[in-house]
């Protein structure tokens, strides 16, 4: 079954708008884990517009004390400061993304061939320190060989175009094929496969139905939107159900080309 890692950045962004202590990032993470999420994801950007280093450290303490069997996934561009934080909090997984600091959100994968020397050196260091490494990737099957050549453990497929096509079945099916082809190519090379970005409950269910060997999905924005309607605990349960191929979602599955 595909694991769910709840991305807490949206909650932190809401908190930071007013400078109060609510919503409680650690408290929301705790609720997600209590109802079965397998991990928590944070993306501590340099401008600290959502999760901050102190949030990441507090989450590590909570995980160690209450959920030692769950995972902390820390994602970001591999600056020296980011890498030091990821190591300090003993991130179970470090997801490297090619973000410019001014980007609103991650919206493209690495150029594995061009960035090979840089990524390889970072990955060697991270793996020597005991971290599992994932690289944010566009769903392009032909690029998976170059991704594997960096020494990464996993790739995280960028599902933004697929998620954005929620109201266009033909486009969504084409995007699903791109994701499936890339996932197959990665798996054939021995890479683990994660996925994330703009995944709804139905979209997640369709994804894992077509690509049942996805290791993990990282979901934040749509999950917190749903939490406004269903509450945090029930929303996380719905997403966990959606991560099980053959579960109660979706009503109409995308054609797996």
* 248: in domain: no
Helix axes 201-210, 221-230, angle to 10 degrees: 130
Taking only the tens of pLDDT, the chain with its 257 residues reads: 899 999 999 999 999 998 889 999 999 999 999 999 999 999 999 999 999 999 999 999 999 999 999 999 999 999 999 999 999 999 999 999 997 766 556 567 999 999 999 999 999 999 999 999 999 999 999 999 999 999 999 999 999 999 999 889 999 999 999 999 999 999 999 999 999 999 999 999 999 999 999 999 999 999 999 999 999 999 999 999 999 865 676 555 566 87
197 counts as catalytic: yes
* 179: in domain: yes
Q: Which of 50, 156, 197, 216 is catalytic?
A: 197
Give pLDDT, residue 256.
Answer: 82
* 126: in domain: yes
Q: Which of 43, 131, 175, 216 is catalytic?
A: 43
Give pLDDT, residue 245.
Answer: 67
234 counts as catalytic: no
Give the burial class of 246: count Cβ atoms within 10 A of its Cβ; 0-12 exposed, 13-18 middle, 19 or more buried: exposed
- Please report, for the domain that includes residue 72, its CATH number: 3.20.20.70
* 254: in domain: no
Helix axes 53-66, 25-34, angle to 10 degrees: 30
Range of the domain at 168: 3-242
pTM of the model: 0.94
43 counts as catalytic: yes
* 228: in domain: yes
Q: Report how many domains make up the chain.
A: 1
């Amino acid at each position: 079954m595909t694991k769910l890692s709840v991305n807490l950045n949206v909650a932190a962004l809401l908190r930071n708008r007013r400078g109060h202590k609510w919503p409680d990032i650690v408290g929301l993470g705790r609720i997600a884990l209590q109802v079965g999420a397998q991990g928590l994801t944070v993306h501590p950007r340099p401008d600290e517009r959502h999760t901050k280093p102190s949030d990441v450290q507090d989450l590590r303490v909570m995980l160690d004390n209450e959920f030692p069997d769950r995972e902390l996934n820390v994602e970001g561009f591999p600056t020296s400061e980011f890498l030091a934080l990821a190591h300090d909090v003993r991130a179970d997984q470090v997801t490297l993304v090619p973000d410019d600091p001014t980007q609103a959100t991650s919206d493209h994968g690495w150029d594995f061939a061009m960035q090979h020397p840089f990524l390889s050196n970072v990955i060697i260091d991270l793996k020597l320190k005991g971290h599992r490494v994932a690289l944010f990737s566009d769903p392009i099957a032909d690029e998976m060989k170059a991704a594997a050549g960096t020494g990464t453990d996993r790739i995280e497929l960028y599902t933004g175009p697929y998620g954005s096509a929620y109201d266009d079945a033909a486009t969504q099916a084409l995007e699903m094929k791109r994701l499936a082809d890339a996932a197959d190519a990665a798996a054939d090379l021995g890479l683990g496969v994660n996925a994330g970005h703009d995944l709804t409950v139905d979209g997640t269910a369709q994804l894992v139905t077509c690509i049942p060997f996805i290791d993990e999905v990282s979901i934040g924005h749509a999950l917190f939107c749903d939490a406004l309607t269903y509450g945090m605990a029930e929303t996380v349960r719905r997403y966990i159900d959606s991560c099980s191929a053959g579960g109660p979602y979706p009503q109409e599955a995308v054609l797996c080309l």
